[in-house]
Amino acid sequence: MNRSIFNRLMVTLSLLCVWMSAHGETPTELPAYDYRVEQYRSGWNRLVPRYVKLQTGGLMGAVSVGTGWNYGRDHWETDFILGLIPKFSDDHARVSLTLKQNYYPWKVQLGNLPFTFEPLSCSFFVNVIMDRDYWVSQLDKYPNGYYWFSTRVRMNLGLGQRWTLRIPESRRKFHRSVSFYYEFSTCDMYVTSAVTNRYISFWDILRLSLGVKFQIL
């Protein structure tokens, strides 16, 4: 091989190696494949729950525990919550499942403190009682139109506020922040009852919930 051609080839290979090294690649790497793998991993990572919530009251049961995902610069949250309804006067306790969507339009930083305050939370959630004594459609044993609503599924609305304490990185073990919140909520059946019965006041259809949220990721 001509020496000048050999020298030019070596220079070209050297420049190629330098360029690929600067871009974090080697001649044996496949950029398209690596990109697809990263996209695949990030897609599965999005399915990992970001936080855990513990709550009492709020039309989800006497006590409830759930997990969920926050996104949209933490303005949006989607909760999946499991609640326990004690038996009270019934013969057994019951379990409820809730799918809840939350929206936090504003976040206020409290000076230089590691606290943030969210002055308004808006939520819509669907609650289902997991018990065969409750039904979605009216049973045949009742006259047609006797029950216009489902006893198993409830549509709910809620408004509240939240305070969040950020944990310093040097002290984090299991979570990076802790939030405390309250919420007033009501459901479709309560609202309809208040509209059709003047003896039911506005405060009679509201339910208070208190909760704590541990942000893990």
Tell me what pLDDT residue 26 has.
44
Domains within the chain, CATH numbers bracketed: 3-41 (no CATH), 49-215 (2.40.160)
For the cut 50, the answer to whether the pLDDT of residue 27 exceeds it is no
Task: Read off the pLDDT of residues 28-49 as tens digits, 9 standing for 90 and up.
Answer: 455 787 777 777 888 788 889 9
Rg (CA), the chain: 28
Q: What integer pLDDT is reported at residue 108 of this predicted model?
A: 95
Q: Are 100 and 82 in contact (CB under 8 A)?
A: no
Tokens of 146: 């006797």
User: Is the model's pTM score more than 0.95?
Assistant: no
Q: How far apart are CA 47 and CA 24, in angstroms?
A: 28
Size of the chain in residues: 217
What tens digit of pLDDT does each residue of 138-189 get? 555 555 655 566 778 899 999 999 999 999 988 888 889 999 999 999 999 8
Cα 78 to Cα 83, 166, 195: the distances in Å are: 16, 21, 30
The pLDDT of residue 113 is: 87
Q: Say if residues 163 and 181 touch (Cβ distance below 8 Å).
A: yes
